[in-house]
Structure formats: C-alpha cells, structure tokens
Amino acid sequence: MARVLYTAEATVTGGRVSGHGRTQDGVLDVQLRVPKEMGGDGGGTNPEQLFAVGYAACFEGALGVVGRRERVETGDASIESRVSLLPTEDRGFALAVELHVTLPQISDPEQAAQIVAAAHQVCPYSNATRGNIDIALTANGHKVDSGVGD
C-alpha cells in the first residue's frame, strides 16, 4: 500500500434529504438538503455541490503542481465546476462534470490546454473518476482533449 499523505474523516446522518455532515475536526459542518430544482426545500447544501467545490479545489492544486513542474505561472487560476446528477437507464444515477479553467497568465491556447490536460492526469479526483463519469474540460474558453478516456 502507498504511503498515506492525508485522510479526511467525516460523519453524515440523515442523508441528502434532511441530513447533517461534519468533519472530525469540525471545520466543515453542513446541513444537507435536496435542492429546490429536485423538488426539495433547499436551505442546505447537497453532495453535488460539495463534489463540485472539492473537485475544483483539487484540480487547482493539480494545476499548481503542473505549473511548478513546467516552470509556468498558474497562480491566478480559477475553475468553474459543474456537477450534474443524471438518471441512468437502469434507474440509478450518474454524475457528469464540467471544469472550465481560466489561466489568465497564459495567453497561448495550446499551452493552456496542455497544462489543463496534464493537471487532469495529476488530480486525484480526475484519477478516481476516470472511466466512470463524463468529464468536459476547457482552458481559457477552449475545449481541452484530455487524451484519456473519461
């Protein structure tokens, strides 16, 4: 087994309908609710929102790793993430993700796309979801071919 760098621990009770989630250290403490768009009352967060924030934050970290490796400044990067919940044919559910990356310090579209594609190879969320969900990437408004089956 690989050396563990960090382990996050959390407890959820009540699920997504009227639940509560809290990390062991208490830094994250959220009320979980079904969004109004899905017929719920809203008034809390939901797993898709948490995944969208987590994935975007993780991807930004991966951009920093790639930037350091390539000696390219990515410090002012921003990521707009969209996580969609989709029904499947077998009455289950699936996710789809869009990550729209803005790298204001990189004006060359090809270089921006290469950095985003490389970050997609480094990011733990990308590695965990690869082959399981559809992921669409853009860099500075241009579609990115990740070079792998997502």
What is the pLDDT, as a whole number, of residue 25?
97
- The whole-angstrom separation of Cα 61 and Cα 142 is 21
Mean pLDDT by 10 residues, the chain (150 residues): 93 95 97 94 95 98 97 94 96 97 96 97 97 96 77
Eight-state DSSP code of residue 133: S
Confidence at residue 132, expressed as pLDDT on a 0 to 100 scale: 92
- pLDDT number for residue 146: 73
The dihedral built from the CA positions of residue 134, 139, 142 and 146, taken in this order, carries a sign that is negative
What pLDDT, on a 0 to 100 scale, did the predictor assign at position 95? 97
Predicted TM-score (pTM) of this structure: 0.92
pLDDT at 148: 56
Residue 71 has, within 13 A of its CA and on its CB side, a CA count of 0
